[in-house]
Chains A and B, each alone.
Chain A
Amino acid sequence: MSFYWEYQRYKGFDFEEFFSRITEADIERILCKDSLSETDYLCLLSERAEGFLESMAQKAHKLTVQHFGRVIQLYTPIYLSNHCINHCVYCGFAAKNHLPRKKLSLAGVREEARAISAEGLKHVIVLTGESQKESPVSYIKECANVLKQYFSSISIEIYPLEVAEYEELINAGVDALTIYQETYDEELYYQLHPAGPKRNYHYRLDAPERCSQAGIRSINFGALLGLGKWRTDAFFTGLHTNYIQKRHPEVDVAVSLPRIRPQLGGYVPQYVVSDRNLVQYMLAFRLFMPRAGITISTREQAGFRDNLIKLGVTKMSAGSCTAVGGRTSGDEGTGQFEISDQRSVAEMKNMIYSQGYQPVFKDWQLF
């Protein structure tokens, strides 16, 4: 099995024509339902549904509080290495870009871990570029072995792996995976990834399935918003998430809604995803999958993030830095993209309390 077959069911499907046929009555009917079909979800992603954002928000808020409580889980990224052999046209780490390349030594990882854990954070996500030479699985495993002395949950956002490789990292203490398909539009995907191993659309698409087979606890899905048409990318992200939830109910699923940020290389997004669009996506997804997590990173601005808390968010990053070793040596121009919310962990914590929510630092531990 592969999610590709689910995706294939919509090959040739005219989304624009479908959206043009949706009426206000359709949306009203969907908003009265307890359980949404994938077609209902698609309807809520339509332009027609934009007129119903407040009703969607009220329902999304209730569902989120009911299933997750008034809590927001906090995490932060650690960039291990920015060496990369891929040529993603939208990424600051792309091989052709001239930026100082850097990789943390294990001592460097320890220093970063100390600096981050001093702020109280317990969940981290480690990121690397793709390079068998600089950041092979064995290196990531060694880093995980250091990190687990400081953190209770280690997530990876790295290049796709084989089942046995995922198993190796899980055995080393990794409990969560984040992998973005970037765009589900296969043709566009090939244009955006002209060379390098990441060009393999299928291998990336099936990574969540392989990682589930390896026994991972949770998987975070996403499309990088701005690369393709957001309504269809949002739809397939939801379908992909639902597909894994059905096939691997033991896996906790979540989505991120990352909007593309300015980065070295100067790629200009083809599509603009407005705040209103992002909110519509978040609400539609929450109504479609009431129990799935929703993550909002520091790609978004402080004020906007604050307002999103009541709309369905369950996880937020705090005190982020996209540079390799950025906590201890500062950003020497090695960052992947510019972040928008520069607030410290303490500031984030106070903001969450002021919204009537509890910031949760620990929600997992290696047993």
Chain B
Amino acid sequence: MQDVLLVGDEKINSRLFIGTGKFSSNRLIPEVVKASGVQVVTVALRRVDFDSEEENIVNYIPRDCCILMPNTSGARTAEEAVRIARLARAAGCGNWIKIEVIADNKYLLPDNYETIKATEILAGEGFVVLPYMSPDLMVAKKLQEAGAVAVMPLGAPIGTNRGLKTKELIRILIDEISIPVIVDAGIGKPSEAAEAMEMGAAAVLVNTAIATANDPVGMARAFGMAVEAGRMAFLAGPGATIEIAQASSPLTGFLRD
């Protein structure tokens, strides 16, 4: 049986999603996509320069093999996120939207409350909504009820490369939420992406760790392989881990019948 990720109506083969904001050149984007097999690419609408053929980042995303997922970076309220999403769709960026509502520029932590409001409105307007969120079970349930097709909890604050600091909370979301849980932000190394996949994340989104590597294309390839390995391990069902070795003289060995 083929293992595909279903997001809305889309069947996606690669469980690595990438961001685009930090590359030294947009020309790297198609190379990164090719090397890693990525099929979902997010772009901040604020960066899209529709007036310039050369500067327009969207022109560097191979649309034949990738889904463009515009994001609402810069939105501080639900209302602003909604306006950005509508503009993105009107500008021909498709139906997908990654909601980012951030009113804290020091840590770039999302505003869960405004994110739920924006999700409700945009899902109602027919968008395929993937909200970026702080991992919280009640919020994830409300996002699901509001029409989100997936939730995107952060592993650590954006750009920190600190890894899966919120692991226990993400694990709860994976156990309790029926829509895909896609770990977004904070993943700094391929091993951490593999770890997220092993515990059952549906996908991971990586930007900083790839874009700021010395060799972004090589790093993208490494992430692609790590995500695939982590997914395979999850599907294979990892053996139970125990804290101590199996005792050779069991304490209950005297129970014969």
Contacts and interface: CB of A to CB of B under 8 A. Distances in A.
Q: Do A and B bind each other?
A: yes
15 contacts: A66-B161, A67-B159, A69-B22, A69-B211, A69-B212, A249-B104, A252-B105, A291-B108, A358-B23, A358-B24, A362-B48, A362-B49, A362-B55, A367-B75, A367-B84
Contacts of B74: 217, 364, 367
Nearest to A291: B106
B24 A357 contact: yes
Given A250-B103, A253-B105, A362-B47, A367 B24 contact: no
Given A69-B211, A71-B22, A367-B80, A360 B47 contact: yes
B25 A358 contact: yes
Contacts of A110: none
A291 B160 CA distance: 11
* Band of interface residues on A: 20 to 34
Interface of B: 21-26, 45-49, 51-52, 55, 74-76, 80, 83-84, 87, 103-106, 108, 159-161, 208, 211-212
Contact of A249 (B55, B83, B106): B106
A364 B160 CA distance: 23
Given A364-B74, A367-B83, A367-B87, A66 B49 contact: no
A200 interface: no
Interface of A: 65-71, 120, 122, 152, 217, 245, 249-253, 291, 353, 356-358, 360-365, 367
B203 to A, nearest CB: 22
B55 A120 contact: yes
A182 B225 CA distance: 53
Main secondary structure of the interface of B (DSSP, over half): loop
Contacts of B26: 358
Contacts of A357: 24
Contacts of B45: 365
Q: Please list the 5 inter-chain residue pairs (A to B) with the smallest Cβ-Cβ separation, ordered nearest first.
A: A69-B22, A70-B24, A362-B49, A250-B103, A249-B104
A245 B106 CA distance: 7
B103 A249 contact: yes
Nearest to A360: B47
Given A67-B159, A361-B49, A249 B105 contact: yes
B83 to A, nearest CB: 5
A69 B213 CA distance: 10
Nearest to B213: A65
Given A249-B106, A361-B52, A361-B55, A353 B25 contact: yes
A65 B84 CA distance: 27
Which has the most chain B C-beta neighbours within 10 Å: A356, A364, A367?
A367
B212 A363 contact: no
A113 B74 CA distance: 25
A138 to B, nearest CB: 27
B46 A362 contact: yes
A247 B191 CA distance: 38
B47 A363 contact: yes
Contacts of A68: 22
A321 to B, nearest CB: 22
A302 B103 CA distance: 36
A70 B22 contact: yes
Nearest to B75: A367
Contacts of B84: 367
B256 to A, nearest CB: 59
Contacts of A363: 46-47
A120 B83 CA distance: 25
A227 B21 CA distance: 38
A241 B211 CA distance: 28
A242 to B, nearest CB: 9
A56 B125 CA distance: 50
B106 A70 contact: no
A250 B159 contact: no
A191 B21 CA distance: 46
A251 to B, nearest CB: 7
Given A250-B103, A250-B105, A69 B55 contact: no
Contacts of A152: 49
Given A120-B52, A367-B80, A70 B212 contact: yes
Which has the most chain A C-beta neighbours within 10 Å: B24, B46, B76, B103?
B24
Contact of A66 (B24, B52, B55, B208): B208
Given A69-B24, A122-B51, A363-B47, 7 more contacts: A66-B160, A66-B208, A68-B22, A120-B52, A362-B55, A365-B46, A367-B83
A291 B108 CA distance: 10
Contacts of A66: 159-161, 208, 212
A245 B105 contact: yes
B14 to A, nearest CB: 22
A261 B54 CA distance: 35
Nearest to A63: B159
Nearest to A68: B22
A291 B105 contact: yes
Contacts of A250: 76, 103-105
Nearest to A218: B105
A34 B84 CA distance: 35
A65 B87 contact: no
A122 B105 contact: no
A252 B211 CA distance: 22
Nearest to A251: B105
